[in-house]
Amino acid sequence: MMPLERFLIDFLLNFVAREELNAFLRSPQNTAILVGCLIAISGALLGAFLLLRGLALTSDAISHTVLLGIVVAFLLMTEVFGVEGDTSSPWLVLGASLAGVGTVMLTEMLYRSGLVRQDAALGLAFPLLFAIAVILVSRFVDDAHLDEDAVLVGEIGLAWANTNSHCFENCESVTVTEKHPAARMTRQCSNCRALGISPRDSRAEFIEVCANCGVYRPAQAWNAGLLEREPALVFFPKSISVTLVIALFTLAFVLLFYKELKLAAFDAALAKTLGYRPGLLNYALMILVSLAAVGAFDAVGSILVIAFFIIPPAAAYLLTDRLALLLLLSPLIGAAGAYFGYDLARGQLFGVLPIAEGIALINRLFGLDLIETWDSSISASMVLMIFIFFTLAWVFSPRYGLISTLVRRSNSRRLFAEQVVLAHIRNHQGTAQAATELRVETLHAHFRWTPRKMARVLARLRALGAIRIIAGQAQLTERGENRARHFRRTMLEANNMPAVD
């Protein structure tokens, strides 16, 4: 990641000063929002295809089981190879990818056995692998980098602190040896561990060792007071590097294989017939889901990342039926959730509405004793904001929203009521029963409606010029006759009957 970071820094320094860039990247808010937006881009793009293929919960399974790959790789690094544990290490990314692919393969193996359904196979595979991972974490891993809290929710607010330093001026590394003026010599017991004795024991033997010897990079040397001139440093958060690379890979994958992904999402059998190999495409998709999940591991944990895969595409799906527009709206919704989620964690809804004052108002109105202090996880607040955007789409979507659906159903009921009244009038107009069947005062009884409902229907039909009332009886106008005839023809065609008038 270091060459990529250096390239980005060199590019950005053409437009902003080093101090300004450091101030931006060292801001917890800026880094958290940027990382959240990058996670939203990867998750939403991949989640859109999972949603269309009916595999949305596969992201749930993979986001759990990548933990097994992360933990196994972490233990191998620290216990076997003696490497310092780092949750942004490429070895952890590789382990997570293998775990994700393993989840898919195990699910396919169980499903193809013919003994369980596909959803049951998924439900068998991922709890097993996730349970093994949790046992390994609780049994063998317990530190600030990888523990059970990090597994659940992560902490995107600390992403700014885990950085790589890049030096541009006064880039001198300092090697401190025992003869260096800054060397700090101390005594160390050489046989205490072997004999199991205390350094105060009379048998203890001591040797003189250097407590601070080693090679200091420019940033470390300056902090240790080993340099006279401060190096020109830029600190680049590692989470930005990881999530940016994954977002670019995801974007490139979607652009390169858009046609194949679209065909496989809507008609996998046709894609296979045309030689597109949807099975291989599915594995590639799951690998990217695994990469996105592990990229988000530090920031939002392995649980909340599910929301970044599912909720933005689900919200976008309520707003459009076009795949290209769905792929555009999904990341925007996720990024907006990340942006306003940080404000929500600080107690401001959409950055302007104070939540504490709202809770205080509820307490005063209803006599409650709710805690008015707002203290929330940043990553959880981002997820909550994404869900709020989903709720807004669900309520106000012009085509599939709750309000539009209620209005459409209300209009359908109204139109149907009008049509059956017109049909009734047409069937009895000019017959011997017209005097009783078309009398306005008793017309509601023939439909078993209330007089009020019949009055509303007749008023609308008169306003539309479809009927007229003459001597207390309802009669069709020419417009009403045409509407009744069209309705009858439509009903006959819907039932595959000849439209004889």
- Say if 65 falls within a structural domain: yes
Do residue 226 and residue 241 come from a single domain? no
CB atoms inside a 10 Å sphere around CB 263: 18
* Structural domain includes residue 350: yes
Looking at per-residue pLDDT, the higher value among 470 and 97 belongs to 470
Q: Is 501 inside any structural domain?
A: no
Number of CB atoms found within 10 A of residue 74's CB: 24
For the chain, give the percent of residues with pLDDT over 90: 24
User: What tens digit of pLDDT does each residue of 336-345 get?
Assistant: 999 999 988 8
Judged by average pLDDT, the poorest of 143-152, 437-446, 466-475 is: 143-152
Higher pLDDT, 493 or 78: 78
Task: Single out the residue in 235, 269, 291 at which a domain terminates.
Answer: 235
Residue ending a domain, choose from 235, 259, 291: 235
Nearest by Cα to 265 from 307, 316, 308, 327: 327
More confident residue, 58 or 298: 58
The confidence band for 153, taking pLDDT boundaries of 50, 70 and 90, is: low
Output DSSP code: residue 80: I
Q: What is the pLDDT of residue 144?
A: 41
Residue 231 within a domain = yes
Which sign, positive or negative, has the C-alpha torsion 170, 176, 179, 184? positive
**What element of type H or E holds 349?**
strand 348-349
Provide the β-strand partners of residue 470: 473
pLDDT, average across residues 482-488: 84
Chain segment 193-227, per-residue pLDDT in tens = 888 888 888 888 888 888 888 888 888 888 888 88
Co-location of 15 and 93 in the same domain:
yes
| Nearest Cα to Cα of residue 211 among 237, 159, 238, 176 | 176
Residues 211 and 176 in one domain: yes
What average pLDDT does this structure show over 164-192? 86
Tell me the average pLDDT of the chain. 84
Q: Which of 303, 383, 309 is nearest to 52 (CA)?
A: 309
Which of these three, 343, 372, 396, is where a domain ends? 396
Segment 138-150 shows an average pLDDT of: 57
Residue 304 and residue 258 share a domain: yes
Same domain, 412 and 390: no
State pLDDT tens for residues 371-429: 777 777 888 888 899 999 999 999 999 888 999 999 999 999 999 899 999 989 988 88
Q: Are 378 and 155 contacting, i.e. CB atoms less than 8 angstroms apart?
A: yes
Counting other chains too, the contacts that 314-317 makes at CB distance below 8 Å and 24 or more residues apart are 314/51, 314/56, 314/390, 315/386, 315/389, 315/390, 315/393, 315/394, 316/44, 316/48, 316/393, 317/51
Residue 112's domain comprises: 2-156+237-396
The CATH number covering residue 478 comes to 1.10.10.10
Specify whether 327 is located in the same domain as 343.
yes
CATH number of the domain that residue 53 is part of? 1.10.3470
| Same-domain check for residues 290 and 419 | no
Domain count across the chain: 3
161 belongs to a structural domain: no
pLDDT tens-digit series, residues 315-364: 999 999 899 999 999 999 999 999 999 988 888 888 778 888 888 888 88
Asked if the structure places residue 96 within a domain, the reply is yes
pLDDT above 80 for 275? no
pLDDT at 142: 58
Same-domain check for residues 286 and 392: yes
> What whole-number percentage of the chain has pLDDT above 70?
92
User: For position 497, what pLDDT does the model report?
Assistant: 58
* pLDDT tens column, 61-114: 777 787 788 888 888 887 777 666 555 567 777 887 788 778 878 887 888 888
147 lies in the same domain as 273: yes
H-helix or E-strand spanning residue 402: helix 402-428
pTM of the model: 0.79
Q: Is residue 499 part of a domain?
A: no
Spell out a b/e string for 33-72, using b for 16 or more CB atoms within 10 Å of the CB, else e: bbbbbbbbbbbbbbbbbbbbbebbbbbbbbbbbbbbbbbb
DSSP annotation of 214 reads E
**Residue 146 clears pLDDT 70, i.e. is over it:** no
- Indicate if 127 and 265 belong to the same structural domain: yes
- Using a 10 angstrom Cβ sphere, with 0-12 exposed, 13-18 middle and 19 or more buried, the burial of residue 292 is buried
Position 162 in a domain: no
pLDDT of 145 higher than 60: no
Give yes or no: residues 220 and 323 share one domain. Answer: no
Q: Do 388 and 271 have their domain in common? A: yes
Cα–Cα distance measured from residue 344 to residue 358, given in angstroms and rounded to the nearest whole number: 13
Average pLDDT over residues 448-465: 92
